[in-house]
Structure 1
């Protein structure tokens, strides 16, 4: 619709402001429809897209903010560990948790943050929770009228919105006061209100910082270690269709049981998941090692299938593919899916294998790689860059200021092409920045994501964690590409909505890889005596 409007503007010369008003009104209406249906992820994508057209519109900005808050609340209440551990705390324990979180943020977060700002976001989270079905259903708010809910929300807005706080003691007093008043007015116990201040307050931080429930903390450590218990699937819920399988890991229960990419799971142990959010559906699929789960799904050919799967430990490989893709010119290809503890070892093994098979040049693929351990990025870069700074970090405290440099021993000096795209983030961008600044190779693909910050994980009581941005990282030339990303040397246009799925079968037709092979073949020709 927006493209059509732009063409109309060019042809008729109609006032741009009127067309913008119509477009904004339609965008706000469509976003509200997603929200009414509790399709928070769809609402977030919609508002983001609309803000690219109207970046200064406040209604769209708050729609995006509101949808994010609601999605976080839904996810908390779909997380079994939230109910089993945190909602069972006493008032005193939950207030101590709030104090602990604020203390760690004041001590370690990369930017200075006031208690007033943190608690204002907590108040906003409570305000939205009182209009969130998952929250209200969990706390049995059945006998409360809409008028009472509106009055409670109005009280929050009128009396506590951005209320100045002089320090932690006054902040604790405010939170307890709000919790007591809502308990009196609505019958909601104080603990879930205090917890909204803990979780909601963290929305005052950047997009990469958050409070982690015991379950989410376990998941994060599993990703770092490269192993977890489950079926071995990458999934995303799609309303009305079920759980869309984006990818199925090799050597996994899912693959062994017949699941494949582009399947749609419709039932889990007999429970209909056609319209369940991703996190809620995932909680049904996950479980202890050795336990069973029955699935019903529609395969890519439209066939309705069922099967029983046994959950077990699944290892995620950092290097899922390493092979020679052009034997005549010795072009090797190595896909790096993430940066975890085993990455350097896997990288070494893959390069050695490719060298034995005749590698003369290398395509290193970090497209879709969301990052991981900074140290893993440094270790693999050290294999391909022989000297100089690889990356540096700068934080609010001196212990976050580091410079990482290369060592000449063990360097592979083969010609290099690095593949990047809009989902290459964090540690992948450390790699891209170093390759660019050292002129070590050619970057091919699309502009990277633009996440140039370092997160640290802090343990918190009740088996929880706090992920905080503690520093920003800089390329060897001292550049930080936050919200900018790294531009490729050679742009290969591609539809951003198309999900990247790299398999050994797709290597021969992948446009990025074909361009990389072409560049390396030219390099080989120029190097031939």
Structure 2
């Protein structure tokens, strides 16, 4: 198992659209005041959600319902809408992934059931909670039912059937699965095998397609962070761990009209071609969103190192330009904007964008660079940081915590129980201010929680996201696919659980909110970094740093 414990729901992936549609938010996002479940608020939530569903904009619907669920956690109707939107999004995303299509074509019924068997075995062995086999089976059936309403699934697997025949297939699925009693792993495997064989015989639906929906539905229903991973998604995960990938060096957000450029790596080929945040890719190798889905368009940006791709880009100036770009390996910096942000008080600053293998080394380099410039206090910006590797977060926290607990993990298996402690050697004693917002998640919350609990510095900003679980990446034995499973939960040095709670700053800063009903899509904070004079959280962090220095 390779441990990738601490990415929240949204894995922010460079080069292609995210595995999930959610991206880091900017300073115009809502703060964390108490939300009253008024009828007007809920009516707006369901009104916008219904429109996104009618337009089959599942990525935006998923983001919308996830936001709504966070603000209205006691509304079961929103939770149900969120589950449904996620199921639709997952089906469409899988079928826009060329690697999934390749896998599906190559599988026999036995190959597919072997994958289902292996996935259930890993769930039984490693998942943080004891699995409910009936529930896993039911969620798999639901995934197949959802797939039967989505054009990409029907076009690939049931192109010869009329809508009435597809409806009959769905009725047969409900008849076969509705009375099934599944109380253990073996029964689940036998039942799914039988259902898939019957649907293939009666309707021509290839058994592997049905079995993979049961597989994906089972893993995706465990929690918000567990999922089936296609071979392309597996490659993306490991690229993220290593901090490099082959591609153009862009972060994208899929839209019906194209691919919005959220961020561009300054040392990547896209930047060198003149592509900037705010631009939009409207065509890839001659294909437009009118011909293929935006997810499929993003998939076309992938390719081997040294290969070329032609993109049409609509610039912020309204001009469309054509670029022939050569794909190459791009190093993704995890520590950015290293600078002395206040020369008078000698306050250093850097932003940690994610926690990958290189992050501890990158932080070391940033610390020494600022130390040589006379740093007397340090501001570390974790806003918008979605998380990353557990080890990287622990190693960074260890640079500032003298000794004692940094984080504790607890799982169903004793093998997942571990206390990560700080070491005295190499500890930096510089006064700290940590900036957080409601998109600071997981590994970010480990660092923030350790600094706060050890009274090593001040937290400034918004209440953090609240993802306190650990995921493991498990490659499967065939087809290059895998699963991501929640294996444990983690706790701060003070023993506090983070899931659903987040870390509350010492200095809470409220930022202006945009009405949710007027904004369909969130924009990444990385697109246009705010200037200090426009940034309430950074301004407050600097005030805390100056006040601390003035006391000495």
| TM above 0.5 | yes
Residues 350-409 of structure 1: per-residue CA shift (max 9 Å, x gap): 101100001000000111111111111111111111111111111111111111111111
Aligned to 2:210: 193
Aligned to 1:225: 242
| Cα gap change, 1:263 to 1:523, in 2 (>3 Å) | same
Aligned to 1:12: none
| Cα gap change, 1:31 to 1:520, in 2 (>3 Å) | closer
Pairing 1:263–2:288 present: no
Pairing 1:515–2:533 present: no
Contact conserved, 2:176 with 2:195, CA < 8 A, in 1? no
Instruction: Report the Cα distance in structure 2 between the residues aligned to 1:399 and 1:425, rounded to whole angstroms.
Output: 24
Aligned to 1:333: 349
Aligned ranges 1:300-379 → 2 under 5 Å: 300-379=316-395
State the Cα distance separating 1:25 from its structure 2 match.
6.8
State the Cα distance separating 1:96 from its structure 2 match.
0.9
Q: Which runs of 5+ in 1 are unaligned?
A: 1-15
State the Cα distance separating 1:184 from its structure 2 match.
2.9
State the Cα distance separating 1:57 from its structure 2 match.
5.2
Aligned to 2:4: none
- For structure 1, which segment, 124-133 or 42-51, has the greater mean C-alpha deviation from structure 2 after superposition? 42-51
Instruction: Report the Cα distance in structure 2 between the residues aligned to 1:431 and 1:393, rounded to whole angstroms.
Output: 14
State the Cα distance separating 1:324 from its structure 2 match.
0.7
Aligned length: 508
**Whose relative contact order is higher, 1 or 2, with alpha carbons under 8 Å and at least 6 apart?**
2
Instruction: Report the Cα distance in structure 2 between the residues aligned to 1:59 and 1:156, rounded to whole angstroms.
Output: 25
Q: Which has the higher helix share?
A: 1
Instruction: Report the Cα distance in structure 1 between the residues aligned to 2:78 and 2:492, rounded to whole angstroms.
Output: 34
Aligned to 1:67: 85
Pairing 1:40–2:52 present: no
State the Cα distance separating 1:500 from its structure 2 match.
1.5
- For structure 1, which segment, 66-75 or 48-57, has the greater mean C-alpha deviation from structure 2 after superposition? 48-57
Matching residue within 182, 200, 212 for 1:183: 200
TM-score (norm 1): 0.91
Instruction: Report the Cα distance in structure 2 between the residues aligned to 1:24 and 1:414, rounded to whole angstroms.
Output: 47
Matching residue within 112, 115, 121 for 1:97: 115
Residues 416-440 of structure 1: per-residue CA shift (max 9 Å, x gap): 1001111111100001111111111
Matching residue within 93, 98, 103 for 1:85: 103
SS of structure 2 residue aligned to 1:71: helix
SS of structure 1 residue aligned to 2:400: coil
Contact conserved, 1:457 with 1:466, CA < 8 A, in 2? yes
State the Cα distance separating 1:491 from its structure 2 match.
1.9
- For structure 1, which segment, 22-31 or 36-45, has the greater mean C-alpha deviation from structure 2 after superposition? 22-31
Aligned ranges 1:269-288 → 2 under 5 Å: 269-273=285-289, 277-288=293-304
Matching residue within 478, 494, 513 for 2:495: 478
State the Cα distance separating 1:135 from its structure 2 match.
0.3
Aligned to 1:76: 94
TM-score (norm 2): 0.87
Aligned to 1:165: 182
Contact conserved, 2:490 with 2:498, CA < 8 A, in 1? no
Aligned to 1:13: none
SS of structure 2 residue aligned to 1:524: helix
Q: Which runs of 5+ in 2 are unaligned?
A: 1-35, 514-521
- For structure 1, which segment, 101-110 or 407-416, has the greater mean C-alpha deviation from structure 2 after superposition? 407-416
